[in-house]
Amino acid sequence: MDWPIGPYGTSMGALLLMTLPIHFFLTRDEKDRRVSLRDLPNEIREKGYWWHILLYVLMFLYKAVIDHHNEPMKERVGGFTHWIYSIEGDWTNHIQEFFLNDTLTNILSGHYLFMYLFMIWFSPMYYILCRDEVMADKAALNYFIIYILSVPLYLFFNVEVTSTYLADMDALLYHDSFTLAFFTDNDPMDNAIPSLHVGLPISLLIINRLHCRQLEIDFNDWRHKEFDMFVTFNVIIYLFSIQYLGIHWFVDIIPGILLAIITSSFVHSVQPIVRARTEKGWSPLLPNRNQLMASIFTMIICSSWLMIGVVDGPGTDDDEANIRVGIGDINLDTIEVHSLWDPVFVDVSNVGNYDIDVLLIQRDNVEEHVEKGIFDWNSFVSEGQLTSLQTNTSIELEVTPDSLFDVYVILVKISESDALDSDALGEVRITPHYVDDKLLWTGLLASLPAFIITGIVLEGMVNFRRNQNKL
């Protein structure tokens, strides 16, 4: 597929085109409660939706900052994919092999690219267009809070996507001429834990039920029940597609659900305070004494664990692979541009029992030669710097980009000399060294809001249980 607007432009265009039709379908029984496009600016002013817009702008900037930290921090925090593999094994690979066909791949790839962005956008927009400012607040806060909670895991607990680590699993979504540039620009491919494609909508489903309980209405009588069914239907698809496309481990779903529980509890409690800010200001958002003490305690415990137990810890073991390949398999690691003056030094070590071919090449030379997880190696190998690594040997590659858009990738595969062994497994450890590799402390600072929120939620749960015991 070769569309000039690319996967992001395609998704955003579809997002805008589908918003009103889906909204009209879900609200077909209450047309009198819709907000027309002509009245939308006035609705935004009256209901104070300006902070929803600001929140999404802030999220865009915040995510860019977090992504900037991800690669430089790898040298100090390493990765924990081998832990997840020891728990789960090749389970997701069996799913892909059993169901593999081009039609299903195209459908699920399109759904994955479009629906997550659509869910982030459509959830608050749906409620805004339905004149439900309370749920619009909660939907916007849901996205903001669950991403904040994910930051410590994304930065300090790197887990590669399944298609990078499971030898025979194809990266059906990532390694394709249509999506390769988009994902290498936007996805570190080692942020598998937690799965927000599952966590974010599940959090919204929990919020819906907490809201109905608070209103003391039967969920089946709720006016937004069909929207809830729409979200549920997409969660079910995601539970399958993230396994099939070579993205998430099954284990990734569990932290996603745990974050959904924390997020929904916090959002449900804090929304009335945020909505009442015009009368009482922002001071009620400040934690009380018990919440403050719980937050400080949580920050101390979690920060100490990260700095003592994770940094320079078991994830940095040089003998553990972070990329694995089987016969005919080719995997990829992206070299980000962090400076036009200082080179990126990349250590590539063969930690397995078979010889490995390592190719450093500009992404533009590869992009048109990959389809649905399959690279046409012979079409571009002459354009890059090829090295063959025997077992227990390593090489340091140096990358100096000429522009901010000059993206390099490292491709690895089993050497032809070992390709006759059908059971061959190549194992490689790639460790980049960036000029700004001292971002560890700002990464920890960016993680503190997650610990504060978690502390407040835990205090609320303890306080709720204490009050229940008194009844």
DSSP symbols for 328-396: T--EEEEE----SSSPEEEEEEE-SSS-EEEEEEEGGGTGGGEETTEE-GGGTGGGSEEEEE-TT-EEE
- Confidence category of residue 429, pLDDT binned at 50, 70, 90: very high
Residue percentage of the chain with pLDDT more than 90: 63
d(CA 411, CA 446): 32
Contact 86, 166 (CB under 8 A): no
* pLDDT at residue 5, rounded to an integer: 65
**Residue of 112, 99, 94, 104 lying closest to 168 (CA atoms):** 94
Numbers of helices and strands, H then E, in the chain: 15, 10
| Least confident span in 6-20, 23-37, 154-168, 187-201 | 6-20
Letter string b/e over residues 7-19, b meaning 16 or more CB atoms within 10 A of that residue's CB: beebbbebbeeeb
d(CA 288, CA 128): 31
**DSSP for 250-319, written as a single string:** GGGHHHHHHHHHHHHHHHHHHHHHHHTHHHH-SGGGS--HHHHHHHHHHHHHHHHIIIIIITTSGGG-TT
Letter string b/e over residues 160-189, b meaning 16 or more CB atoms within 10 A of that residue's CB: bbbbbbbbbbbbbbbbbebbbbbbbeebbb
Average pLDDT over residues 324-330: 90
**DSSP for 189-229, written as a single string:** S-B-SS-HHHHHHHHHHHHHHHHHHHHT--GGG-TTHHHHH
Contact 264, 203 (CB under 8 A): yes
Evaluate if residue 341 carries a pLDDT over 90.
Answer: no
More confident residue, 213 or 402: 213
CATH number of 316-433: 2.60.120.680
* pLDDT at residue 278, rounded to an integer: 57
* pLDDT at residue 373, rounded to an integer: 84
* pLDDT at residue 366, rounded to an integer: 92
Average pLDDT over residues 175-202: 88
Q: What's the DSSP call for residue 176?
A: S
Highest-scoring range by mean pLDDT, 114-128, 253-267, 269-283: 253-267
Beta bridge partners of 362: 408
Bond preceding residue 7 cis, omega within 30 of 0:
no
- Confidence category of residue 279, pLDDT binned at 50, 70, 90: low
d(CA 49, CA 120): 16
Evaluate if residue 417 carries a pLDDT over 90.
Answer: no
* pLDDT at residue 466, rounded to an integer: 66
Domain assignments of the chain as residue spans, ordered by start: 6-288, 316-433
In three-state secondary structure terms, 395 is: strand
Residue type, 87: I
Contact 136, 128 (CB under 8 A): yes
Average pLDDT over residues 436-464: 87
Which residue is associated with the tokens 């790639």? 430
* pLDDT at residue 419, rounded to an integer: 66
359 backbone dihedrals φ, ψ, rounded to 5°: -125, 120
- What rounded mean pLDDT belongs to the chain? 89
Burial class (CB in 10 A: 0-12, 13-18, 19+), 312: middle
Contact 468, 323 (CB under 8 A): no
Contact 428, 324 (CB under 8 A): yes
d(CA 249, CA 198): 12
Predicted TM-score (pTM) of the model is 0.91
Burial class (CB in 10 A: 0-12, 13-18, 19+), 415: middle
Torsional sign, CA 79, 83, 84, 86: positive
Contact 337, 94 (CB under 8 A): no
